[in-house]
Amino acid sequence: FKLDIKNMAAADLNETLVYNVADTKYTLRLWHHQSKLLKADNLYKAYKDALPRQATVALMQHFGIGVNQRTVSEIQAQLAVEINEINDEIDSLKVIKAFKADNKGVFNPQSGPELLRIFRDYLKRPEIVVTNLHVMDFGQSSKQKEATRTKYGERYSLDKHVMATIDHPLAKLIVELRNRTKLKSTYADGFELGKGDYVWPDGKIHTSFNTTFTETGRLSSDYPNQQNWPKRNDAWVRRLVVPPKGHVILAIDYGQLEGCCAAMCSKDSVLVKALWENYDIHMAWTKKLVKRYPLWLGTSETLDDKPTAKKYRSVVKNKLVFPAIYGASNESIAGYLNVPIDVADDIMDEFWGTFTGLKRWQDELMKGYYNRGYVESLNGRRHNYPLTRNQAINFPV
């Protein structure tokens, strides 16, 4: 079919109806074939579990979410001011004045080649040279290639991680400029009714939700991705979204969900009991770590202070408890926490001495993976080889 399925509203109706008939016919035939394959591989239950969500997702996409156009205009204006201010600061730097003098007064801060010339040739910053790329040398004879098959090459990088290592005001300003420019193009200009890419004629966003794209089985969305909107920095972006009249938007999160899933997978009796009793596993191990290694806290900090306790609890949650649940090594956990390896060894010995069922489940899961070449979630969904240990343990949880 030559039908443009992304613009079916403009297509000839007769052609569209024939297309829909063929689409339905062959989808049904594929479904019968797929069902046999799923049953043969014991995957039919996972399929049946995933099926009911499709109706909900279809409704979510159909109804969409509203966008406050007044807020869009306010944010566009505010970001435009901020972008101009950053550009003025950049233009006032000595190195930029020197570059403009050599280039007929022209400089574009969004130009990668121009920025590269400034950081490499004018500022001579060594940080932009990346030397750990493994590259093939194609300029050799076959014998030479065999003798020196690969070599380490060099390239230049101006990404945000590299820029963060450069102690020069231009680097900081470029990072800020990129951030403001991206926010404006995505969340302000992109949501402007009649002009933006993401707002439909009804004034709403109708993102595409995907239930089968991610390897772990989580939901994803695109055009636009509604799951990566700023939450901490630039949380004001979320003011763009508004509920229908007479409704409110409610944010809901499960408490200790990953801990609960790890308990369901492993049936660790200590972990199960702790969760039923509302035991805060993250805070408990924060206190254990501080007791074992007091230097980990700042000299003037104490867990009696609620904001301090919350900060360090978050660190332990994301750099000790979750990595442990997902199979991280003691060396990795020591690096995440920035503590000596003997401290990490000590605390992890106690952790696994407490949650023996969780450790046993991890070991049995990996044995099954090495034997069968896949791991399964509790409802039978599979993830196949090749997987790292962390990926294999992560998947069922």
- The pLDDT tens digits for 301-325 are 889 899 999 999 999 999 999 999 9
Half-sphere exposure of 319 (CA within 13 A, CB side): 18
**Nearby residues of 274 by Cβ (< 8 Å), 6 or more positions away:** 281
Please return the burial class of 312, using the count of CB atoms within 10 Å of its CB with bins 0-12, 13-18 and 19+.
Answer: buried
Given a contact cutoff of 8 angstroms between Cβ atoms, the answer to whether 142 and 44 are in contact is no
Q: What is the mean pLDDT of residues 219-234?
A: 87
CA–CA gap between residue 20 and residue 291 (Å, rounded): 67
Would the pLDDT of 192 be above 90?
A: yes
Question: What is the total residue count of the chain?
Answer: 397
Residue-level pLDDT at 147: 34
pLDDT mean across residues, the chain: 89
> H-helix or E-strand containing 322?
helix 322-325
Of 127, 177, 134, the residue nearest 156 (C-alpha):
127
Q: SS3 string of 337-359?
A: HCCCHHHHHHHHHHHHHHCHHHH
Helix (H, G, I), strand (E, B) or coil at 327: coil
Phi, psi of 78 (to 5 degrees): -65, -45
Residue-level pLDDT at 153: 57
Region of poorest pLDDT, from 33-42, 207-216, 345-354? 207-216
Report pLDDT digits (tens) over 8-45.
888 899 999 999 999 999 999 999 999 999 999 999 99
| DSSP classification of residue 284 | H
Instruction: Return the C-alpha torsion angle 349, 353, 355, 358, nearest 10.
Output: 70
Residue-level pLDDT at 150: 38
Residue-level pLDDT at 379: 87
Report pLDDT digits (tens) over 251-301.
888 878 888 999 999 999 999 998 899 888 899 999 999 999 999 988 788
Residue-level pLDDT at 151: 41
Q: Provide the 10 A C-beta neighbour count for residue 351.
A: 20
Residue-level pLDDT at 283: 93
CA–CA gap between residue 178 and residue 304 (Å, rounded): 40
Residue-level pLDDT at 216: 76
CA–CA gap between residue 316 and residue 322 (Å, rounded): 8
Residue-level pLDDT at 256: 80
Given a contact cutoff of 8 angstroms between Cβ atoms, the answer to whether 204 and 193 are in contact is no
Residue-level pLDDT at 292: 93
End-to-end CA distance of the chain: 43
- Give DSSP secondary structure letters for 137-188: --SS-HHHHHHS-EEEEEEE--SHHHHTT--SHHHHHHHHHHHHHHHIIIII
Report pLDDT digits (tens) over 132-182.
544 444 444 444 433 333 344 567 888 888 888 899 999 999 999 999 999
Residue-level pLDDT at 149: 36
Q: Which two tokens stand for residue 101?
A: 């003098």
Residue-level pLDDT at 278: 85
CA–CA gap between residue 164 and residue 142 (Å, rounded): 42
- Give DSSP secondary structure letters for 87-125: HHHHHTSHHHHHHHHHTTT---TT-HHHHHHIIIIIS--
Of 378, 359, 362, the residue nearest 370 (C-alpha):
362
Would the pLDDT of 392 be above 70?
A: yes
Contacts 24+ apart (CB under 8 A), 16-19: none
> H-helix or E-strand containing 65?
strand 65-67
